[in-house]
Structure 1
């Protein structure tokens, strides 16, 4: 399941949020978040944002943000 999540998360050009991932995997958002954390611990993903440095109007990650808490964005680590 982790491999499938990683494939889904990286096949998008742009962003995909935990809701979309949970729908595609038929899992809860909490399960998807835990799996993303696990992938990060294993070195497959890297957290790139720990808060909002710019306003929402100018944010390139608006679609992935749920506005209730700071966004957690991930990327593949550089080789």
Structure 2
């Protein structure tokens, strides 16, 4: 089930909260969970800015699929890597 949040006419937040992982980027301890901020841009081209950990991959992928409406994703911009990002 998708849970994207509209930010502007062409930008959606598609991140999520992770209360399972114990480290961010496999390095920084997180004892109370973490929020992954990822965004989908829907314009002449489509883009995803950052992804999420595999722990919440299914919701993330559902968000992306829902917002693409059958189109191809043009760009993925990755600012963080670590513990098993989903893309």
**Same fold by TM (over 0.5)?**
no
Q: Could you say which structure has the larger radius of gyration?
A: 2
Q: Which has the higher strand share?
A: 2
Structure 1 length-normalised TM: 0.31
Structure 2 length-normalised TM: 0.29
Q: Which has the higher helix share?
A: 1
